[in-house]
Amino acid sequence: MDVNDLRKQILTDMKVELLSEFDRNFERKAFFSQKWPARRREGKGSLLVVRGGGGLRGSIRASVLSDAVKFYSGNPSAQIHNEGGDITVTAKMKKFFWAKYYELGGKVKYKKDGSTSKGNIKISEDAEFFRNMALMKVGSKIHIPKRQFIGHAPEVNKAVKKIFDSTLKLRLETVIKQGLK
């Protein structure tokens, strides 16, 4: 039994199992048993999964190193959502918020005579949200609550122990069977 092969197998099994568990956190809307704070405004689905299968949930990756598994995300908003914290409103952000506002129908359409209909004035809740964000002053702070989806937890330790024990057991059974032949 090659120890390096065994180590690589255990780390690979950990990568697969823990990637699956971290993905399930989005279904649970929790970091294992710790529920995420509710959204401030109502919306469809989970806050971190709003964009379908992509976005934050689809960005989680893992690499097997020589003696560990590294989990990461290339999504620029991953860290602030996972750890929580404050972000500072910039002019670029305000520009983005205005663009989202207009994209979501936040523009009043006028008739040729200059009047509007009631249907044109009413904007969606999402558009209203982005309008309010765009009206914030540069330098204002936006608090992002912690909605952890990846990291250390007792459940991770249990999964690692289970993977280690089962992989080691399978390897030993294989070695014993080969030794009896």
Task: Give 73-114 pLDDT, tens digit per residue.
Answer: 999 989 999 999 999 999 999 999 999 988 887 666 656 776
Domains in the chain: boundaries: 1-84+145-181, 85-142
C-alpha span between 158 and 164 (Å, rounded): 10
Mean pLDDT of the region 66-77: 93
Close Cβ partners of 15 (under 8 Å, ≥ 6 residues apart):
62, 63, 64, 69
- Assign 128 a pLDDT band (cuts: 50, 70, 90): confident
Q: Show the CA angle centred on residue 82, arms to residues 80 and 86, nearest 5°.
A: 30
Pair 131, 123: CB distance under 8 Å: yes
- Assign 52 a pLDDT band (cuts: 50, 70, 90): very low
Q: What is the pTM of this model?
A: 0.75
Radius of gyration of the chain (CA): 24
The half-sphere exposure of 9 on its side-chain side, counting CA atoms within 13 A, is 15
| 129-161: pLDDT as tens digits | 899 999 999 999 999 999 999 999 999 999 999
